[in-house]
Chain A
Amino acid sequence: MILYVEKDDGKYGPMQTGSFISANYMEDYLYKRRNLELELREQLVTGHISPVKYYMVLIDLSFSELAARAGIRKSRVRKHLDPVGFRDATIDELLKYSTVFNIPVSNLLQVLLVKDNGGFESCFILESSAGKISVDQAQTGNPCVVLTKIEERF
């Protein structure tokens, strides 16, 4: 990042530097992010929230913003936040949500977990840690189909 600072000659100018918060508080940020994912995953698998709500909270989107971004009526989105209402979502609506969340549509019906540092961690947040397994989900010409490649990192 670029910071503007006072130079030796008294003039102010740009200096390329690292981020203070990244250097000092990144672990805390990742810890909170993992905890949030765990908490949401628990609510998801016990049927308290829908996958739409899981991703919406995880990526910090408001309900109104999600509706606007997906181009889906607010009343429909409200319904889809509930696990029972989610079952009424059409494939077309799921595709729209998946574009907003930038995930393959298949991930609205599954959470990919990879064993990392002794525990299982969601692929959605895994990039933040140096895991041994790489999961590559490549889009295909068919928007409803994704090719998931799992391999060991060397």
Chain B
Amino acid sequence: MSKPSQSSTRSGPAAAPPTPRRRFLTQAGALVFGGIVCLVPTLSGLAVLLDPLRRRSKAGKFIRVATLDSLPDDGLPRQFPVIAEHVDAWNRSLEPIGAVYLRRNPGELRAHCLTATCPHLGCFVNYDDESNTFKCPCHNSMFQVDGEMIEPSPSPRAMDTLECKIENEEVLVRFQNFYTGKTDKVAKG
């Protein structure tokens, strides 16, 4: 082991330089084989990372949200949780998946439903009974009781309405989530 501990690696040309062709083949081989072995773990990792793109939301079913009794026809919005069968990766369970505001105008037998999610950036919108308006606690978007925007507003659109119907003295809502921050209401797929 007579080699000096400090070897200058940059000076001193390699003895008997190989032919350019051989050198090219060596370089190409090193790159190709090195590339292949690095690709295997990278691609398998990518496949798993991209897995969420395969998952689809299963929206579209009417969910029972409240009894008609709990929604008097006084025109005031009331907040209800939406409890539904929820699939979360390996679990499937019955749990709250969101909240809605329901409202029934005097004398009407139909309900109006607004999702509690702010269309601006997704905060939970509060109902302020003093001013009879919806107020978002995050960026101060304000909405009228029917969900229309109160200008000026950071929100690009009115509160999102949800389809709802009354059946057998119960209020059913087709619960959906929408992309926030867009002028158009687009359901998440």
Q: Do A and B bind each other?
A: no
Q: What is the interface of chain B, defined by CB distance below 8 A to chain A?
A: none
